[in-house]
Amino acid sequence: MSSAIAASSLGAFQAALSVLLTLGYGVFAARYGIINSGTAKDVSQLCVKMFLPALLITNVGKQIDRENITNYVPIFVWSLVYHVMSLAIGKTAEKTLGLPSWVAAACTFNNSTSLPLLLTKSLTATGILGSIAGGDVEKAVERAQSYFLLNSMVSNAATFAVGPKLFDVEKDREEDGDEEDESDEEDDQEEEADENTSLLPKPITTRISSVESSAENQFHRLPHPVQSVLSYVGSLVNPTLCGAIISIIVGLTPPLQKALFAPTQEGGWLNAWFTSSLKNIGELFTSLQMFVVGTKLSDSLTSKKSANPPKKALAVIFMVRFVFWALVSIPTIYMLAVKTNLLGDDPMLWWAMMLQPIGPPAMILSSLVEVAGVGQTAKMKVARTLTYAYIITPIIFAAVVGALKACEAVLDKRGQ
């Protein structure tokens, strides 16, 4: 038994270490000028707006169908539950310990996409998932990735809907002496000038501008409550959500799923060319996004000493993201799997749900502080907090092993 745990722990640690090394390559590239911050930002946008939706369509669209749709309901519910609980814990810690407002956001939003996807992919090489994979590890890993991807959809929607509202700008700016980040403003102005330079022919851009102006006029004629509702709904719509919706439609439409994913000789006339092209760019997301995360973390390593975040803030974030949820999530899902039939019969679903809430804060936090308009010192403290969190990410191997053993115990009790 001890040798099995040791072997599993070694495999999980190696997989977690591979994630850290991928981050490290990004840091190396940024520190030695191989990639600059502007390029990294563009690549990150490309990953989120193009590669991730493609991955959702080719993975979730292939995995989900009318027979197993109920497997995805627990993922959705659990994602909502742990985000609400994390938010409550973060806000409570902020109020009672006098922490900056960004701590609540760091406690609430974890890396729900690139980290678990890359970790799961790395675990395939170690072979430790074989005990719960049901014989076909590759297909089991694809199922696990589809569960993580659905969780990321919920997480992203919550981030954009709730995230900006968590910040107390005045409170966070107190650390800066109300200093203004002039360089950021200049960069934004330059970026806007670039974005306004269209490559389309002038007649087309003129027509587009006319349509946009007309739509804006019509919007402002609507009653104010309707405008508020539409604006809020619009904030939830993003490429990740669109990709998830398309993937669900594909999965629940058998003729479309067959055309996209069945072998060509069995009616999959879109598989060999269209689906393959989406899969090619979708597979770029996982490693490339983690690499970009590393480039973003590089800047914080050279920031001034005053950018060190409060130790109490680091302790709270660490405890919530790596300890509290490991101690709560694994036993909770274990008990639900043993005592009820709410979670179905797929061990990969149990394992994915156990790991859903665990891990470092999402890198989107660095974007949220930009949107919120907090001071420069607060921004650097957030960046340094993220760096520390990702440096210790390999400790997640303990949760990976714990979740694995818990799933094996469920199988034993069920006699499977």
Phi, psi dihedral angles at 110 (to 5 degrees): -100, 165
Q: For 398, what's the count of Cα atoms within 13 Å in the CB-facing half-sphere?
A: 8
Crossing angle for the helix pair 52-63 and 254-261, to the nearest 10 degrees: 110
Instruction: Please give the single-letter amino acid code of residue 372.
Output: A
Q: How far apart are CA 94 and CA 224, in angstroms?
A: 33
Whether this prediction's pTM lies above 0.75 is answered by: yes
User: Domain 2-177+215-414 adopts which CATH fold?
Assistant: Na+/H+ antiporter like fold (1.20.1530)
Q: Are 171 and 101 in contact (CB under 8 A)?
A: yes
Q: How far apart are CA 12 and CA 155, in angstroms?
A: 25
What is the three-state SS of the chain? CHHHHHHHHHHHHHHHHHHHHHHHHHHHHHHCCCCCHHHHHHHHHHHHHHHHHHHHHHHHHHHCCCCCHHHHHHHHHHHHHHHHHHHHHHHHHHHHHCCCCHHHHHHHCECCCHHHHHHHHHHHHHCCCHHHHCCCHHHHHHHHHHHHHHHHHHHHHHHHHHHHHHCCHHHHHHHHCCCCCHHHHHHHHHHHHHHCCCCCCHHHHHHHHHHHHHHHHHHHHCCHHHHHHHHHHHHHCCHHHHHHHHHHHHHCCHHHHHHHHCCHHHCCCCHHHHHHHHHHHHCCHHHHHHHHHHHHHHHHHCCCHHHCCCHHHHHHHHHHHHHHHHHHHHHHHHHHHHHCCCCCCCHHHHHHHHHCCCCCECCHHHHHHHHHCCCHHHHHHHHHHHHHHHHCHHHHHHHHHHHHHHHHHHHHHHCC
Q: What pLDDT score does 184 carry?
A: 43
Q: Distance of CA 368 to CAs 14, 201, 247, Å?
A: 32, 35, 27
Q: Which residue has the tokens 């104010």?
A: 224
Is the Cα torsion angle 151, 145, 339, 329 positive or negative in sign?
A: negative
The domains of the chain are located at 2-177+215-414
Q: What pLDDT score does 244 carry?
A: 83
Two tokens at 228? 């508020």
> Cβ-count burial of 143 within 10 angstroms (0-12 exposed, 13-18 middle, 19+ buried)?
buried
Q: How far apart are CA 219 and CA 216, in angstroms?
A: 5
Q: How far apart are CA 31 and CA 151, in angstroms?
A: 33
Give bridge partners of residue 110 from the DSSP assignment: 361
What is the three-state SS of 240-305? HHHHHHHHHHHHCCHHHHHHHHCCHHHCCCCHHHHHHHHHHHHCCHHHHHHHHHHHHHHHHHCCCH
pLDDT averaged over 10-residue windows placed end to end, the chain, 416 residues = 71 84 90 87 86 89 85 92 94 90 89 86 83 83 90 81 69 50 41 43 62 65 70 69 87 91 89 92 88 81 67 94 95 94 91 94 76 68 86 90 92 80
Two tokens at 195? 């974005």
Instruction: Please give the single-letter amino acid code of residue 251.
Output: G
